[in-house]
């Protein structure tokens, strides 16, 4: 059984019996997992909480499957708590580990002068990061790595960390379990020296990095998804408050985005959306006047709506842009507020799912009634699906094609359902053009306005052979059911990919009302009358 995809070391080396640590509560301890579990189980009745949550269950599962990897207790413990490494706040820890729900952030606790906490926050201890929440650092070392408080004392300037742990409400492992955890790791001493040395070097690298003027520390080497997200959020927050630095990125930041194109795309979306907000139009107008006043004639504010990671400003433009932010604090405040909002919206879009109706509600109702008469059970069928534009792996797969095809084949000669459906999608697209024509583009944000215009023209190209001709000379295309359905759903996909839920909802409502209209007015051999002037604007 594969417990966790995280890779881990296995230890097959057996310690000489003379060197094995002895413990009076068991008569002896072993790195062997079966012997360790047996020893701890003897104490379960007296100490029910001797194991941390789920550790015993994991150990039992591995033993039942033969423990082919020769796992020890420390292997299991580290795999279970290994994801603590990817947590950067108490909230993230609590979401993954309910047993830590009571921990406090170091910002919620006050410590006396001269304590271990104060030394960390002053940057006096090289093995601890003064900027990272101390609760998170201790959780990673104590629970994530399984290092004892006594051994961590060697890296805390000789200070006992127990008092700090209690103040931060970090739970302690059972004393017996802690001993057994250490006994099960034949490389414990080498591991703690290596891990703490790496931590010290990372802290020194971070210190030098930040002292060079960098806003967020970007470690060297491969990074986890969570760590990339942490860096990305840190950069966004910095640029919210420091727009003057936006177009003067360091090479290390550029490299981070080059190596992580998905993060670069999110950053690009946030900035482009920020500049397109209606509230930013006054900022852009003032910036344009400022540039002209200072004789920067070749500057156009539209370039700020392009890909910020590819934009290259001249030194003169860059210097004057920084001066603009310094001279206009109101503009900087507006930018900060809008970028914060844009970042929130983009983050929500990364998780957003949009409901898509497979067919008009009227069509589905008729099909269900037909199926009931045929004794076909449709109770387990879904007639809507959810699409996640940014996370396609979550997309639901819904297929009712066999049922709908059988229904249409049988009922077409009677109710002309296929012809009605084709006209429904056609009419729904016409209705959407009407709705777009009613919209006051000046009241829409520029992003939505720039989306609606091209989409309306695309629909006209689908419906007309010559969409740009005077309306009296336009010729309506003859479309098959599949063609007009495909055109309609391409419009829906455009709405989802551009995160326009209101327009998507409008499409869905127009499809349902179009089916009702077509069904009520349909007469075989008599086409529905459509007023072509809806395409005039």
537 residues of the chain, pLDDT tens digit each: 333 332 323 223 333 333 333 332 233 345 789 999 999 999 988 999 999 989 999 999 999 999 999 999 999 999 999 999 999 999 999 999 999 999 999 999 888 888 889 889 888 898 999 889 999 999 999 999 999 998 998 888 888 889 999 999 999 999 999 999 998 988 898 999 998 998 899 888 888 888 888 888 888 888 888 899 889 989 988 988 888 888 878 888 888 998 999 899 999 989 988 988 888 989 999 999 999 999 887 888 888 877 777 777 888 888 898 899 999 999 999 999 999 999 999 999 999 999 888 889 998 898 999 999 989 988 888 888 899 999 888 888 877 888 888 888 888 787 777 778 888 898 899 899 889 988 888 777 777 888 999 999 999 888 888 887 776 777 888 877 788 889 999 999 999 999 999 999 999 999 999 998 888 887 766 666 655 444 443
Q: Contact 521/530 with Cβ under 8 angstroms?
A: no
Q: Give the largest Cα separation in the chain, rounded.
A: 101
Q: Contact 475/464 with Cβ under 8 angstroms?
A: yes
Q: Contact 354/384 with Cβ under 8 angstroms?
A: no
For residue 102, what pLDDT is reported? 95
Query: What is the per-residue DSSP string for 441-502?
Result: GGGS-HHHHHHHHHHHHHHHHHHBSSTTS-GGG--B----HHHHHHHHHHHHHHHHHTT-HH
Structure tokens at 521: 């007015």
Give CA–CA dist 310/323, Å, rounded.
Answer: 22
For residue 473, what pLDDT is reported? 77
Q: pTM higher than 0.75 for the full model? A: no
Give CA–CA dist 513/254, Å, rounded.
Answer: 50
Dihedral in degrees, nearest 10, Cα atoms 6, 389, 385, 354: 120
Give the number of C-alpha atoms closer than 13 A to the C-alpha of residue 168, restricted to the C-beta side. Answer: 22
φ and ψ at residue 176, rounded to 5 degrees = -65, -45
Q: Contact 203/120 with Cβ under 8 angstroms?
A: no
Q: Contact 467/474 with Cβ under 8 angstroms?
A: yes
Give CA–CA dist 26/39, Å, rounded.
Answer: 6
Structure tokens at 300: 């156009």
Q: Give the residue from 386, 427, 380 showing the smallest Cα distance to 403.
A: 380
φ and ψ at residue 243, rounded to 5 degrees = -60, -20
C-alpha distances (whole Å) from 44 to each of 21, 50, 162, 174, 342 are 22, 7, 25, 11, 53
Running DSSP on this structure, what letter comes out for residue 144? I
Structure tokens at 452: 């609606």
């Amino acid at each position: 059984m594969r417990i966790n995809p995280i890779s881990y070391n296995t230890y097959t080396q057996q310690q000489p019996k003379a060197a094995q640590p002895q413990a009076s509560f068991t008569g002896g301890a072993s790195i062997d997992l079966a012997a360790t579990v047996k020893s701890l189980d003897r104490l379960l009745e007296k100490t029910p909480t001797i194991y941390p949550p789920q550790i015993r269950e994991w150990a039992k599962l591995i033993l039942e499957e033969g423990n082919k990897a020769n796992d020890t207790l420390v292997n299991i413990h580290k795999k279970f708590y290994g994801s603590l490494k990817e947590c950067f706040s108490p909230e993230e820890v609590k979401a993954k580990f309910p047993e830590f729900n009571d921990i406090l952030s170091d910002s919620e606790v006050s410590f006396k002068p001269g304590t271990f906490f104060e030394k960390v926050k002053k940057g006096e201890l090289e093995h601890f990061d003064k900027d990272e929440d101390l609760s998170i650092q201790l959780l990673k070392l104590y629970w994530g790595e399984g290092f004892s408080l006594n051994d961590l004392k060697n890296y805390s300037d000789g200070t006992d960390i127990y008092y700090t742990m209690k103040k931060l409400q970090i739970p302690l492992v059972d004393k017996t379990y802690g001993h057994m955890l250490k006994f099960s790791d034949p490389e414990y001493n080498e591991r703690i020296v290596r891990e703490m040395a790496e931590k010290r070097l990372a802290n020194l690298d971070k210190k030098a990095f930040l002292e060079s003027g960098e806003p967020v520390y970007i470690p060297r080497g491969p990074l986890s998804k969570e760590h990339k997200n942490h860096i990305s959020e840190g950069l966004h927050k910095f640029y919210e408050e420091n727009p003057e630095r936006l177009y003067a990125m360091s090479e290390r930041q550029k490299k981070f985005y080059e190596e992580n194109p998905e993060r670069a795309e999110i950053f690009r979306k946030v900035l482009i959306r920020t500049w397109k907000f209606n509230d930013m139009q006054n900022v852009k107008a003032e910036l344009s006047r400022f540039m002209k006043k200072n004789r920067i004639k070749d500057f156009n504010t539209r370039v700020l709506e392009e890909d910020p990671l590819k934009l290259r400003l001249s030194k003169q433009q860059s210097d004057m842009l920084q001066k603009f932010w310094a001279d206009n604090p109101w503009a900087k405040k507006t930018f900060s507020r809008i970028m914060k909002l844009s970042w929130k919206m983009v983050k929500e879009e990364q998780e957003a799912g949009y409901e898509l109706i497979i067919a008009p509600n009227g069509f589905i109702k008729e099909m269900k009634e037909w199926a009931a008469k045929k004794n076909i059970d449709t109770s387990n069928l879904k007639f809507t699906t959810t699409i996640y534009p940014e996370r396609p792996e979550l997309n639901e797969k819904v297929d009712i094609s066999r049922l709908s095809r059988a229904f249409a084949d049988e009922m077409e000669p009677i109710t002309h359902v296929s012809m009605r459906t084709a006209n429904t999608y056609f009419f729904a697209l016409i209705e959407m053009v009407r709705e777009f024509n009613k919209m006051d583009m000046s009241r829409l944000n520029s992003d939505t306005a720039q989306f609606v215009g091209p989409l309306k023209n695309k629909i006209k190209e689908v419906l007309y052979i010559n969409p740009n001709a005077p309306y009296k000379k336009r010729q309506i295309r003859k479309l098959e059911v599949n063609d007009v359905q495909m055109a309609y759903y391409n419009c829906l996909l455009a709405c989802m990919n551009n995160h326009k839920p209101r327009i998507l909802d409008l499409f869905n409502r127009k499809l349902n009302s179009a089916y009702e209209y077509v069904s009520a007015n349909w007469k075989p051999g008599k086409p529905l009358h459509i007023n072509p002037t809806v395409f005039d604007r």
